[in-house]
Amino acid sequence: MYDGTPPWDIGRPQPVFLKLTEAGAIEGRVLDAGCGTGEHVLMAATRGFDATGIDAAPTAIAIAQRKAAERSLAARFLVWDALRLPELGEQFDTVLDSGLFHVFDDERRARYVEALAAVVRRDGRYIMCCFSDRQPGDWGPRRVRQDEIRAAFAAGWTVESIEPVEFDTTLNPPVAQAWLSMITRSGGDDGDMNSHRAHSTL
């Protein structure tokens, strides 16, 4: 996908994440799961946050690292599979997800949510923007319903809100319908998470 410019790589943060940052909704140690070329990580780093981005695409990570160097920003980027988040051995206060959740089928979606539980601190927040079933047509990634999001995060999480937003793209028309979800890690304690992380690395 990075031989050219993928439709989600708009060269700047998604407006909805920029707005949340300016409102103080993003805090602490920040992880962007599926960071692409790094705009949300760099947005967080610009504001002084300890920011890490992971992506399975080496080309995207290389571009993100180059951007960080060009902008003289301290940000960490790793080539990493989001289903292997427990193997990072770290926890974060805020995890961002801009367009990753909707790429998973049902089985991998459950594995992804389980992986997130190992890296989001108790009372930490997962902020996710995914393709919405409000989007007409059948092009693009899988459309996600609100009830699917709530079901995925039914155990150990609190879904604070799900609201309709627009996701900027490089396509024509340039916006797609999306859901913005604010979800808090409410179950377990650090010991439980560390146990889960150790088990996941076996």
Each residue's pLDDT tens digit, 34-69: 999 999 999 999 999 999 999 999 999 999 999 999
What is the identity of the amino acid at 200? S
User: What's the total number of domains in the chain?
Assistant: 1
How are strands ordered across the β-sheet holding 120-131?
76-79, 51-55, 30-33, 92-98, 120-131, 175-185, 157-168
Query: pLDDT-based confidence at 185, cuts 50/70/90?
Result: very high
Measure the CA–CA gap between 12 and 37, rounded to whole angstroms. 10
pLDDT at 202: 29
65 domain-assigned: yes
CATH number at residue 141: 3.40.50.150
What is the identity of the amino acid at 145? R
Q: What is the arithmetic mean of pLDDT over 16-34?
A: 97
The dihedral region occupied by 123, where left means phi > 0, alpha psi between -120 and 50, and beta the remainder, is left
- Full domain range(s) for residue 114: 15-200
Measure the CA–CA gap between 84 and 132, rounded to whole angstroms. 26
4 domain-assigned: no
- Model confidence pLDDT, tens digit, residues 75-128: 999 999 999 999 999 999 999 999 999 999 999 999 999 999 999 999 999 999
Instruction: List the one residue out of 135, 137, 142, 121 whose CA is nearest residue 186.
Output: 121
